[in-house]
């Protein structure tokens, strides 16, 4: 069996795409602050459930991560269809940082372009570390060792409020320092 760090970004094995948090960890994570339904997803609108639920009856981490990764279409553009996901992850990183890191990890693997990984890194991953640097750095370093896609995201993180010693660890883990 190949390890995920033997693969280039975008070629993640199915094992990498499994959510690492148990189902009960997602129970209280949904922010409940979805924008108004716009008719793009009639099934979800009919069920009146949050976007992050996808077609399930609870928050679906893979659905959220995929929508988040795909929300970045091109330079400074967020796709209208997936814009909710970026906002959802931003709210999550403040209230549920461990869950947010898992969504970011999955999104890094699901991203289809380097631009998407860049935006994941300089966006919510940077904000997560800026707000929770000392509590999240060990997990971030571990993910950077395991995943080239996550390491690519980490390579786009700037200091953004992190302590100097923590940022030095970010630089080392991303291969920049």
Q: Pick the residue with more confidence: 138 or 33? A: 138
Does the residue 52 lie in any domain?
A: yes
pLDDT, averaged across the chain = 78
Does the residue 17 lie in any domain?
A: no
Does the residue 8 lie in any domain?
A: no
Does the residue 60 lie in any domain?
A: yes
Residue for token pair 């010693």: 165
pTM, rounded to two decimals? 0.78
Domain that holds residue 34: 22-174
Query: By C-alpha distance, which of 121, 141, 145 is closest to 5?
Result: 145
Does the residue 169 lie in any domain?
A: yes
Domain count, the chain: 1
Give me the mean pLDDT over the 112-124 stretch.
Answer: 93
Reading the block at residue 85, the tokens are 């996901």
Q: Pick the residue with more confidence: 80 or 112? A: 112
Residue 9, pLDDT > 50, answer no
């Amino acid at each position: 069996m190949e390890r995920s760090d033997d693969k280039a970004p975008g070629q993640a094995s199915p094992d990498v795409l499994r959510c690492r948090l148990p189902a009960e960890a997602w129970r209280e994570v949904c922010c409940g602050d979805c924008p108004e339904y716009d008719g793009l997803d009639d099934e979800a609108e009919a069920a009146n459930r949050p976007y992050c639920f996808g077609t399930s009856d609870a928050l679906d981490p893979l659905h959220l991560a995929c929508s988040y990764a795909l929300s970045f279409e091109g330079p400074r553009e967020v796709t209208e269809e997936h814009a909710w996901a970026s906002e959802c992850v931003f709210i999550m990183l403040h209230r549920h940082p461990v869950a947010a890191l898992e969504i970011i990890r999955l999104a890094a693997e699901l991203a289809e372009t380097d631009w998407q990984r860049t935006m994941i890194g300089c966006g919510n991953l940077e904000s997560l570390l800026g707000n929770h640097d000392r509590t999240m750095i060990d997990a971030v370093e571990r993910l950077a060792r395991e995943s080239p896609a996550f390491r690519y995201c980490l390579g786009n993180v700037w200091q953004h409020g992190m302590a100097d010693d923590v940022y030095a660890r970010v630089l080392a883990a991303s291969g920049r320092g």
